[in-house]
Amino acid sequence: MEQKGNIPPRYAIRLGDLRHWHVVTVTCPTCGHKGRVEATTLGRSRPDHTRLMDLERKLRCRQCGNREDNRILVSMASRE
C-alpha cells in the first residue's frame, strides 16, 4: 500500500497534527471509492484533539453511503 515518509501511525494522529502539506485520503472498503480531503477541510469545525481513528467512524462514503470501515490515510503532498 502507500507508505511514505515519516508519518506517525494514523491512530496517533490528531487533527491538530495535520499541516497543509498533509494529504488525507479516505478509502471506502465497500465500493473502493477514494476521496481526497484537504487537512484544513477535515479539521474545520472539529476540535484539534480529535483523533483520526475517531473520525473514521463518522465518515460516510460519498459514492455508496457506506459508513463502516472507511479508512483514513495520511500522506505527504508532493512538493512542487
Cell 475517531, residue? 54
Is position 33 an interface residue for Zn ion (rule: CB under 5 A)? Answer: yes
Pick the binder of Zn ion from 30, 50, 51, 67 (CB under 5 A): 30
Nearer to Zn ion, 48 or 69 (CB): 69
> Count residues contacting Zn ion (CB under 5 A)?
8
Is position 61 an interface residue for Zn ion (rule: CB under 5 A)? Answer: yes
Is position 25 an interface residue for Zn ion (rule: CB under 5 A)? Answer: no
Could you give the CA distance from residue 77 to residue 6 in angstroms, rounded to a whole number? 13
Q: Which amino acid is at 8?
A: P
Contact between residue 18 and residue 24 where contact means Cβ atoms under 8 Å apart: yes
